[in-house]
A and B are shown apart, each in its own frame.
Chain A
Amino acid sequence: MAIKTYIEAIRETLAEEMRRDGSVIVLGEDVGKKGGVFLATDGLWAEFGDDRVIDTPLTESMIVGASIGAAINGLRPVAEIQFADFIAPAFNQLVNEAARMRYRSNNGFGVPMTVRAPYGGGVHGALYHSQSVEAFFAHVPGLKVVIPSTPHDAKGLLRTAIRDDDPVLFFEHKKMYRSVRGEVPDTDYTIPLGSAAITRPGSQITVIGYGLMAHYALEAAELVADEGIDVEVVDVRSLRPLDKATILTSVQKTGKAMVVYARRRSTTSTVRSPGSPARTSPGCPTTTSSRTGSWSTPRRSRTASASSRHTDRRGPRLTGGRAAEPS
């Protein structure tokens, strides 16, 4: 088993899927000769040529809209939105078209399309190269939203996304591209969407995260382990479908839940938070939950931090500022 970076896993998966299935094409801005601004598609153009690796004009709505059409007519497009911050012009095509096509046609049409986008901050990106936009899309029935945190998961989940018969938004935290390495099997493994991973077993509190925050959660767990707090970390890996069973089973065990994300706290005061099953499930004994996200400003904070911790005041047994107190 080889050690690979996160972006190597993405790049290899794209090439392998294109070799495996002639209907897979890649399109987006600078994805051709340049190989993408992060080099996620580097080498694809040289191997697969102009027909299957298409440099588009700067037209995000067209990239997604034409991908929908191409998917309707027998291809499996993998579109790249250069930065997740730039996905807004494609919102209409994603939410009103791709997400609803199968439902509104009573299963007549499907859209087997993957839209990849680098997201997240911590890379000097400021207002427009740092956004975490997954919450917008995780609310939309008909879209799948996947955020892997390791090279292993990136490969297994991207394979599944490309082979999926429905539209999948595949968000890659750009800070992880070259900073996260890990073992990647040489086999053609896949990871089903909607299957969370328990990345650290523990007994006193469940910390739920994804993407870069799944790593920070593990780091934090190690820090508080010295204080005698035994943290279980759940990496949800996909926000839709959401593996409620794994989350709830973990929270039933620990009795406490903390959700960590890089997106803004204010965007998550709705049910589509990974922690929501624990708050809304009548069968779940959880009484304490907490959310940590970034500040509610256009410029996001560099990382989620203790200073931005936010406690959900819906739980009947509030613990105030510190949710991680052992019970």
Chain B
Amino acid sequence: MATTKKASASTADRNGSNGAGAGHGKAGPGVSKLAASVGLTDADLLGMYRTILLARQVDERMWVLNRAGRIPFVISGQGHEGAQVAIAWALQKGKDWIAPFYRSVGTLLTFGMGARDLMTAQFAKSVDISSGGRQMPGHYGSQPMHLVSLSSPVATQMLHAVGIALAAKIRKTGEVAMSSMGEGSANQGDVHEGLNFAGIHKLPFILVVENNGYAISVPVSKQLPIENVADRAAGYGMPGFVVDGADVLECYRVAKEAVDRARRGDGSTFIEAKVIRLTAHSSDDQQTKYRTAEELADIANKDPLPRFRKELQDAGVLTAELEARIAAEVKADVEDATTYAEEAPEPDPATAMRWVFAEEWPGETPPPWGFTLRGTGGH
């Protein structure tokens, strides 16, 4: 198991063998039949459950803070977390790379971020590891965790992951690069250009499309002439898989297969996880304008969290005692992160001009008579 320095005290604690599972394993002590069926341990399953729960609850807290006027904006991962955590679990933390998108709360928590890291970004505080408070909320990233800093124009990040995979292949590092996005973003030209290139060069690359059925308000019927985005994979000479995003272990199994394929040098994979969007597009969106009450009631039945919880309970992995303990830990994590972020210092305005370039004010030196750079257009 790769070790990554914990980002904060509240980083999801996992004892599992993230990334080390290899297909079917044998049941035994600490390995239930359910865990063995996907080559994981019970500790992995509990770690996944804890991370999904944390992703949900930290996300819910953001909405509360937004409605209370404490943070300006929320863009949510609720409904996506099962697929996010399971798929990221198949990658090797600290080695592989992820270029995520703005709903990737579960992905980030799986790959090394903690609740504090998310919450300090929401509050745009100086200790926000993603950007030092520079970005809009929801735009995360961390170089040490190999989580590529993300922007708002959609799908651009997948080309970064393709380039990372290209470098991994040229440098023979054995790294795999994954990028995730929604099905709305999957219609961007960058996706075609990137998949085409990844296919040509058999890059160690995985595209994950989290299809929640909506691009803000536009339903999938107006976004795609086909049922599955992953059907496009054939056009890029790579396998495409469609997976139920509420089936956590199936998501893991498919992702593990993709990671193994990439690691072996057999090329890229397109994974589409059918997920649900439990919230409006963002805290500034009113989804009842375009989604019926019946639909919203129906998607609640496709929530990955209660389904995975029941699966673990039925398998005897999640006992009532463990469930209560994990719930208490997650609640404490969210409380800790909220308090920590609220109390953290604001960014120093004097730092706002830093890091436009690696060096400051390159080459634009003042002339001999003491002319200053102020008011002349900056860099």
Contact = CB atoms under 8 A, between A and B. Distances in A.
Contacts of A103: 134, 355-356
Nearest to A101: B149
B165 to A, nearest CB: 7
A165 B362 CA distance: 12
B366 interface: yes
A316 interface: no
B200 A241 contact: no
A281 B159 contact: no
Given A73-B168, A280-B375, A97 B160 contact: yes
Given A57-B196, A103-B356, A248 B367 contact: yes
A69 B196 contact: no
Given A65-B159, A100-B151, A241-B362, A248 B371 contact: yes
Contact of B159 (A66, A73, A107): A66
A298 interface: no
Given A75-B170, A75-B171, A104 B375 contact: no
B131 A104 contact: yes
Contacts of B193: 57, 59, 61-62, 65
Contact of B163 (A69, A144, A244, A281): A69
Contacts of B354: 107
Q: How large is the interface on A (under 10, 10 to 19, 20 to 34, 35 or more residues)?
A: 35 or more
B268 interface: no
A240 interface: yes
B364 A69 contact: no
A194 interface: yes
A89 interface: yes
Contacts of B378: 141
Contact of B156 (A93, A238, A283): A93
Interface stretch (B139-147, B213-221, B255-263): B139-147
Contacts of A93: 156, 159, 190
A69 B166 contact: yes
Contacts of B189: 61, 89
Contacts of A59: 193, 196-197
Given A57-B200, A244-B376, A104 B149 contact: yes
B351 to A, nearest CB: 8
B130 interface: yes
A67 B163 CA distance: 6
Interface string A284-303: 10000000000000000000
B368 A73 contact: no
Contacts of B131: 104-106
A47 to B, nearest CB: 16
Interface in A50-83: 51-52, 56-57, 59, 61-62, 64-75, 77
A74 B171 contact: yes
A151 interface: no
Contact of B363 (A194, A272, A284): A194
A72 B179 CA distance: 14
A166 B357 contact: yes
Contacts of A89: 189
Contacts of A271: 376-377
Contact of A69 (B153, B162, B200): B162
Interface in A83-135: 89, 92-93, 96-97, 100-110
A142 B357 contact: yes
Contacts of A110: 358
A238 B159 contact: no
A104 B164 contact: no
A257 B355 CA distance: 32
A239 to B, nearest CB: 11
Q: In the complex, which of the residues B135, B170, B361 has the most CB atoms of chain A within 10 Å of its own CB atom?
A: B170
Nearest to B354: A107
Interface of A: 25, 51-52, 56-57, 59, 61-62, 64-75, 77, 89, 92-93, 96-97, 100-110, 141-142, 144, 164-166, 192-195, 238, 240-245, 248-249, 252, 271-272, 276-277, 280-284
Give the 4 A-B residue pairs with the shortest CB-CB distance, closest first: A194-B363, A69-B163, A65-B159, A106-B132
Given A73-B168, A142-B357, 17 more contacts: A61-B190, A62-B194, A65-B194, A66-B159, A66-B197, A103-B134, A105-B141, A105-B143, A107-B354, A108-B141, A108-B143, A244-B364, A244-B371, A248-B367, A281-B376, A283-B367, A283-B370
